[in-house]
């Protein structure tokens, strides 16, 4: 259950961070508001509407599969890290392909490269935040345990 909590926290933080990144990138093309300031916070809730359900469903599910695969093989630490990046990047492409299948317009998919790049980037972001959340839980748990034993 704690593992699911860690994955859910990672998914929420990833979704919020990715929404801000996408909003900042798309803000370059938005019209200027009030004295030339670009309001890049405006699209954040709209990006959250798309990113949060994808992270919470497909992201967490794929993360469990990737973690089982990585746990099955014994890599040195740096190889495990690099394999994790590769596995999560491929998973991001796979998840985005599934999202496109669900949301595809009848006219076709258009150019796939930016979509697959966005999927792999979002997935690698999830991977790094998951490592940070794992590190935080491990260190916070260890410190709380030390405080209790004193």
Is 19 exposed, middle or buried, given 0-12, 13-18 or 19+ CB atoms closer than 10 A? buried
The token duo for 22 is: 């996408």
Could you tell me the CA-to-CA distances from 115 to 80, 87, 92 in Å, in that order? 26, 17, 10
Give the C-alpha separation, 29 to 10, whole Å.
Answer: 29
Answer yes or no: are the C-beta atoms of 134 and 6 closer than 8 Å: yes
> 37 forms bridges with which residues in the sheet?
33
Confidence of residue 20 (pLDDT cuts 50, 70, 90): confident
Answer yes or no: are the C-beta atoms of 92 and 119 closer than 8 Å: yes
pTM, two decimal places: 0.77
Tell which residue, 60, 84, 81, 67, has the closest CA to residue 12: 60
Instruction: Express each pLDDT in 50-96 by its tens digit.
Output: 889 999 999 999 999 999 998 898 888 889 899 999 999 999 988 88
Domain ranges across the chain: 2-149
What is the Cα gyration radius of the chain? Answer: 18
The overall average pLDDT reported for the chain is 81
Residue 35 has pLDDT above 50, yes or no: no
Taking the C-alpha atoms of 10, 132, 67 and 72 in order, what is their torsion angle to the nearest 10 degrees?
A: -170
Give the C-alpha separation, 78 to 64, whole Å.
Answer: 20
Give the C-alpha separation, 16 to 19, whole Å.
Answer: 5
């Amino acid at each position: 259950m704690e593992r699911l909590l860690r994955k859910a926290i990672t998914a929420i933080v990833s979704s919020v961070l990715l929404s801000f990144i996408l909003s900042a990138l798309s803000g370059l093309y938005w019209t200027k508001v009030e004295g030339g300031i670009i309001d890049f916070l405006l699209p954040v809730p709209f990006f959250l509407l798309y990113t949060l359900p994808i992270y919470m469903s497909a992201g967490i599910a794929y993360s469990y599969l990737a973690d089982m695969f990585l746990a099955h093989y014994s890599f040195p630490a740096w190889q495990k890290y690099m394999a994790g990046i590769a596995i999560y990047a491929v998973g991001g492409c796979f998840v985005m392909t599934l999202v496109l299948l669900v949301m595809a317009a009848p006219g076709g998919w258009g150019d796939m490269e930016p979509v697959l790049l966005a999927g792999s980037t979002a997935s690698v972001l999830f991977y790094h935040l998951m490592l940070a959340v794992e590190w935080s839980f491990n260190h916070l748990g260890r410190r709380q345990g030390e405080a209790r034993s004193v």
